[in-house]
A and B are shown apart, each in its own frame.
Chain A
Amino acid sequence: EAGVAQSPRYKIIEKRQSVAFWCNPISGHATLYWYQQILGQGPKLLIQFQNNGVVDDSQLPKDRFSAERLKGVDSTLKIQPAKLEDSAVYLCASSYQTGWEETQYFGPGTRLLVL
């Protein structure tokens, strides 16, 4: 079974530029998550999709971050304009549910450096 795919793996941009990340979840996983992981911290949820609907985006800085999941499969996360503090690893995860138990699987992440 193929895992969660993400691209690009690395990105370096200057502040105020825009950047977009792409995620392809595991086939059949209805729930997709974007996390931000700053060095030395645990992942922080930015947005959660159930199929193509947003379940939770309470921690998404909506003035600069946006995300979409068209057709309930692939997803993109965009930052515009980027700030220095956006330097982090952006992790995509997808999950399936068995009964009330849910398991999340992470992609390799995209390392973003904002200069």
Chain B
Amino acid sequence: QKEVEQNSGPLSVPEGAIASLNCTYSDRGSQSFFWYRQYSGKSPELIMSIYSNGDKEDGRFTAQLNKASQYVSLLIRDSQPSDSATYLCAVTGGGGFQKLVFGTGTRLLVSP
């Protein structure tokens, strides 16, 4: 079983729509959860972090965490073509040091 699972996509949405990206993780001891955006040929860029159950909003982005279901999601409202990228979910593996475990990423395509 993979530690962090994401649908590889591509997820295609029209401009202005809501894009919903999902991620599940296997380690119940995980404490920190991150969404990174990665444009083709570029390095990952942190866009959201979430540490407790519920929703966290930042501009057009909302991260949702449900530790009981071991599920974290990212909603992008009013999607723009510039949001087209691969979105990586990352989770700390638990323990005393913050070892990040990444999923394989979901490719998002926003069409004009």
Contact = CB atoms under 8 A, between A and B. Distances in A.
B99 A40 contact: no
A106 B43 contact: yes
Interface stretch (B10-18, B45-53, B56-64, B73-81): B45-53
Determine the interface band of chain A, counting residues with CB < 8 A from chain B: 20 to 34
Interface in A70-115: 89, 91, 95, 97, 100-109
Contacts of A50: 97
A16 to B, nearest CB: 27
Interface residues of B, number: 23
Contacts of B101: 45
B43 A56 contact: no
Interface string A6-44: 000000000000000000000000010100000011111
A91 B43 contact: yes
Interface in B22-64: 31-32, 34, 42-46, 49, 51
Given A50-B97, A55-B97, A42 B46 contact: no
Interface of B: 4, 8, 31-32, 34, 42-46, 49, 51, 88, 90, 97-105
